[in-house]
Structures are given as C-alpha cells and as structure tokens.
Structure 1
Amino acid sequence: MYAVVTLQDSDEVMVVASNWLSPDKKQSYWPPFKSTKKCIEAVQNRLKPETGGKTWEKLNISFHKEYVFFDKANEGQKEITEQKQQYFPSTTGFTGILKKIKKSTQDMSKNPVLPTPSTSRMPTDGKKDLLQMLREIKSTVQENSSMLKKLLKDNTVSEAPSSSSVSTEDVKASLNLPLRTVEDVVRTEMELNSATTRQKYVQYLSRLGGFGPKDVIKNIMQRVLTDDLAMEFSWLGRGNKKPFSKLILTDVIRDAASKQSVMRADCETEIKTYLWYTIDRIGRKRPRVCGGVTSEVTSPTLLDSAFQSEIGMSFLDD
C-alpha cells in the first residue's frame, strides 16, 4: 500500500510506501538517494527503509490518505497539491513573513537593545517594522481563514444528504440481501450490469467494516449469501459447484473490500476460505444426527442451465 503525505519541513505533497510510516503516522522514513528516479523506484517497490544496514532518516509528516495502488496514490497526490494551490495561494507569502520575523528576532538577539534609564522600549523604526509585519500576518491569516471556511462549506454542501436520499436500512431492503437461491444470484447478476446499481452495492457493502481482510470479507460474505446458497459455490466451480470467481458480484465484493484497504489477492484468498468452510458453519448451526452433520448434495438441475445461459459461464472443471 501507499500513502500520500505532506513533508512538514518543505510543505511538499509526496507519495511514500505505507511500510515507511510510523505507527502514529506522524513520521515517515525517506530514502537518502539523490536520484529522483531511484526514490520513485524505492516507493514503488516499497523497499525496506534501510541502506547497507543503516536505517533511513525519519521526517515529520502530515498524513492524508492511503491507497492500494501506486497509480491511485499519484492521482491523490496531484489532487491534494491542486487543492492546496487553489485554496491557499498566499501560503508562500505567509511562510516568507514568518521567516522574516524569525531573522529579525535573531538579529535582535545578536545585537540586543539594552534598556536605559530614559527608555526601555525598542527603537521607533524597529517597532514600526514589527507592527507592519504583524499587520501582514493578520491579513494573510484572515484570507486563509476565509478560504478554509469556503472549502469546508462547499464540502458540507456536497456531502450533505438530499431530501430524496435513503437511509442505510432502505438501501439494504432494496438490495434484497442476503441472496438465498440461485435464482436470486441470476437476478442480481442482471441488475449489476447497471453501473448505478453496482455502485449502490459497493457503497453499502464497503460500510460493513471489519478488522483486517478476514473480518472484512466475512462481514461482506455473510451479508451477501446465506450459508445454504454458499454451498452451491466454490472459487473455480469444480464438480457440481458453480464458479464464484466469474460472477459480477465477486467484482463488487472486491471493490467494496478495497475501500476497506483490503488488497485484491487477500480478498480472493479470504473468499476462497469462506466458501471452503461453509459446511463447517452449517454444521455448527444445525443439530447433529447420529454423531454426524446431515447435509444434502444437490445435483445439477435445470436451474443450472438457466444460471449458465444468463451469466455466460461454464460449471465444468477449470
């Protein structure tokens, strides 16, 4: 994974490897390479933050967001940079004023004005310069404050739910989840050809949360399929099982999981595991008969043919 951060010393927005971040995400390792190309390669390859056994220097950062893919992180970097340039155009001037004050303070410390019996105040010229600097600072702060308020207001308006928006429970009801039969899967696959419907599923499933890939996928799969229906599927669809990997619904689950920072490979691994252990879950829920779990193996039916023709997939061994 990759993270977009701002280097506090230079105020530059950069992409770094997530494994370079400190646990509190307030610092990041930075490669000592002078070549820009080598630095970019280090980020892309998420190198271990050390060279020749020597750990890299840590820089103070402001963390913005994490991304699964490097290209997406680059897009996020450009977006944040453009926002900063749009809403804080006078930041450079403000930094310059602060540097000017710092220099003035350092000069005064080197050549202090000692108090005399007649006066304990600084020279008039120095006082005027300082007052002028403070006025400039105040003006710059007011401008930035106004722009920040406008930005927050615009975001609030865009994110505020409209009067026609529906609650999470209403969305859940409209999606008819969990799916209980193969007919439900066929119907849902047809509905997911619509980009609007697909986005609705992704948004709903991505809000289920979880701690780590296993928990995230378990929460999504439990909401998508009943265990009885899950028995009909395996990842590749060998034997009498249907191939879960070829469903549009599987892509929807991947998209929803990625919003919870679950990488594609981890997502597929956890889906396979979830389907593999379906019979164990059913066994724990149902009473045992004669010391064993009773289960029926469903043979191929006419419904399989309908499922195959609607979705365009083969249920033969992969």
Structure 2
Amino acid sequence: MNNYNNCEKNLPRSWDKLSYTGAKRVPLSEEPDAGSWPTFFIKRDENGNFLDDEGKPIYAGIRTPNNGIDFEGEQLERVRKVLQCLNHRRRAIARYWGAGPASKQWTPIIDRLIDTYGVSAPRAARILAAVYSAINDAFVIAWYYKYLWKVARPNQLDQELVPLLCTPEHPSYPSGHATVAGCAEVVLSYFFESEKRQLHYLAEECAVSRLYAGVHFPIDNDEGLRLGRYIGNIIVNILKKQSSISQNAIDYPILEDKEADLNPPPYRRQVIPFEYEDDCRSSSLDNKNNCKCKTLDDDKYYD
C-alpha cells in the first residue's frame, strides 16, 4: 500500500523538514556538527576534505543518494515487509545491537579478544587506542555525509510506518551502526586475523539489525558497511607502516585460532547492562503490537 500522500504536507523530503510517525514536530538534531570534529588517523585539508596519511583525497566509496537509490519506492517497501513479519530472533537482534550507541557492543568484543589471546598490557592498550580512534574517525565521516545529504528516515517517508525501536534523531544515510561495524571489523581483523570470519559475521549482523529495527533502509546498512570497511582499510595501512625505535614492525598477526567466545549470543542479556530510556517521542512497535506475521524464516538475513 502506498502511503506517500500522507506526508505531502511535509515536503520537501529532507530529514530536517519531515516529522517522524506520530510526532508533531520535525526531529531535533543529534550532534549536527560531529562531521567537523577532529579525527585521529584521517586528515583534513583547509577546505574540510578528508585525506589519508599521505595527503591524498579520500572518497566515500559509497553511492550518493541521487545515484539510482529508490528510497521512496523499493527501499521503503523492503522496510515495510520486514516490520510486518518480524520474528522473535530478529526482534532480539534489533534490540541487542540497538541498545546504546553504535560503539557499545564492540567494547566487550574487543575485551574478550584481548583476554582470549593473552595480549600483553602495552599491546592491549595499542589495540584499544587503534580501534576506538578508528571508530571516532568512522563516526565523523558518517556524520559528515549524514548531514550533507539529509536523507529522511523510513518513518518520515511513510507517516504510517511504525518501527520496532525509537528512531534516532539524525539523518538516515549512511547508517552509523553499519559504518562503525565495518570499520571495527577490519581493524580488529588486522590484530586478530584468525577471528576474521567471526568478526565479519558480527559486523553484518550489527548492520542488518537496523533494518529489523525499522529505523534504516537496507541501502543505509549496505553502504554504511562499505564506508566503514573503506575507512578501516585506510587505517590498517597506516598501522602497518608504524614501527618501533628499532625499526621493527609493531604489530604481528595472531594466527592461532582460539575461536573466541564473542557476544552475541545471548541477545536477551547485555554484556554491559544499563537501563536505557525507551520513551519515543514518536510511536514504536514496542508500544503498538501490530505485527502482522507470526513466523519468518530465521536463516534469511536480507529480504
């Protein structure tokens, strides 16, 4: 069913010009200047353009919103279908990764990797510094593009769409969760090469959880992962060039595979518990139990 006419009064279709489902005002901006914040690995020129460590321009590596992306048609319809047929597993995945900021769930993952592989104290500090600095840079770049393009959220383009979780108050494209996940995956895989497959799976799950939550379009997550991995690879190349005073490479791949027990699962319990406020200014499925389907294939991650 096409509900586009329900929000014609809110045109033009820009994130800052449209209200969320059930809201009486346009959303507030969450850290709108974050795209200009300092970065640790990535450089910027006097015009604000992102540069690598050699001063070469960094391109987003993702599609621009006007490059054949049908947000109001195919993308929005996929969000509708997912929300109509959420099962318990997908709800649990959405709630787990959606609890807290995008960096929260990667903290216990990093800690478990360090403990499992018996990483020394200085090397553990280096890993933590590298990963969180990389996440900072990924956030800054993602926020730059979010507020450059100001792509509306699903529940702005369809004023009858009700997400599972509260929709964050910043533009949709690209997904911050997906960008952070892609970047964390690549940087952690550099330090823990034997866990590369498991880290890839977790990054993919983190990204698609935002589709299950109904707060992002599929393309937000796909291109967010691409952007995060692009940033992560630039940072890994910088790390590889670093050496000690004796001119020896600092990092070395951990080839032993100890099959680290990384969360999630479980999904119902946060590794670092905290009671977050879940009071949406607009409606969510947690408040409106209108799911139309009782079952869905658990093994299909993308619809």
Global fold match (TM > 0.5) = no
Higher relative contact order (CA 8 A, sep 6+): 2
Higher strand share: 1
TM-score by length of 2: 0.30
Structure with greater Cα Rg: 1
Higher helix share: 1
TM-score by length of 1: 0.29
